Amino acid sequence: MRIVLVGPPGAGKGTQATRLAGKLSIPHISTGDLFRANISRQTELGKLAKVSMDAGNLVPDELTIAMAKDRMRQPDAEDGFLLDGFPRNVSQAEALDELLNTEGIKLDAVLDLEVPGGEVIKRIAGRRICRSRSAHVFHVSYSPPKKQGVCDVCGGELYQRDDDSEETVRKRLEVYHTQTEPIIEYYQTQGLAVTIPSLGPVDEVTRRALEALERREDDGE
C-alpha cells in the first residue's frame, strides 16, 4: 500500500507510522530521516538542505520533493511506502501527485490522525526529558516520575525543552493549521482522506487505522 500519514504535532505520527509500516511490511519514509540520511551521506541534496537548516530556515519544497522522489524509487519501496511529514503543504501534495502519475502509481489512502488542540498542548507541554545522555522521557500527567523533576532511571534532572513550551506548541499548531491541514481537504476531493481519532491507547489507534485501510481495500478504493 501507498499511504500518507497526516496529523498535528503531538498526534503520535511517528509512533503510528512505525507501527503501521511494520504491520504492512512497507518502509516508513519520514522527512526527518530523509534530511538526516542525505546530510550524513553528504549528497548534493543533503548539502543544500543543511545550508537552509543551519540558517534556521525550512528546507525548500524542491529539495524535500527531490529527496522523497529518490527514496520512493528505492527497491524496498517498490510495493508500497508510508510517507510521514511529506507532503507538508498543498504544493508538495500536487508535486507528489505529479511524481506518482509519472511512475504510473497512485496513493491508496491518506490517514488523518485527529486530536483536539487542547490535547496536543497537554501532550507536548507536559513532556519532561532527563538531562543525562540516556534522555529518558516522562510526562507530568501520563507517565510522571516518582519524584518530581527527577528521572526514575538514573536520578538525573528532568527538564522541559524550549520547543515543548506551551507558547511554542501553539505556534507549531498555527503553522500546521495554515500550511499542512489544507492538504486534508485536497485529498478529500480525491476520496483518499480517512480521519482516525488518535485519542486513546496506542494499540487502539493502530487498530483503527488498520481497520480503516482494510475497509478501503474491501470497498475496492
Name the binding residues: 10-15, 31, 36, 57-59, 85-88, 92, 127, 137-138, 161, 172, 200
CA angle 210/126/180 to nearest 5° reads 50
Q: Which residues contact 129 (CB under 8 A, 6 or more apart)?
A: 135, 136, 137, 138, 158, 159, 160, 161
Q: Which residues contact 78 (CB under 8 A, 6 or more apart)?
A: none
Annotated binding site for AMP: 31, 36, 57-59, 85-88, 92, 161, 172
Of 13, 71, 122, 128, which residue is the catalytic one? 13
User: In this structure, is the dihedral angle defined by the CA atoms of residues 186, 117, 216 and 219, taken in order, positive or negative?
Assistant: negative
Residue type, 26: I
Are the C-beta atoms of residues 34 and 71 closer than 8 Å to each other? yes
Whether residue 106 lies in the annotated active site: no
In terms of Cα–Cα distance, which of 162, 160, 135 is closest to 149? Answer: 160
Whether residue 161 lies in the annotated active site: yes
Of 106, 131, 161, 171, which residue is the catalytic one? 161
Annotated binding site for ATP: 10-15, 127, 137-138, 200
Of 122, 127, 128, 208, which residue is the catalytic one? 127
User: In this structure, is the dihedral angle defined by the CA atoms of residues 85, 93, 71 and 3, taken in order, positive or negative?
Assistant: positive
Of 122, 123, 172, 208, which residue is the catalytic one? 172
Whether residue 172 lies in the annotated active site: yes
Whether residue 215 lies in the annotated active site: no
Whether residue 127 lies in the annotated active site: yes
Of 19, 71, 88, 128, which residue is the catalytic one? 88
**Catalytic residue positions, numbered:** 13, 88, 127, 161, 172
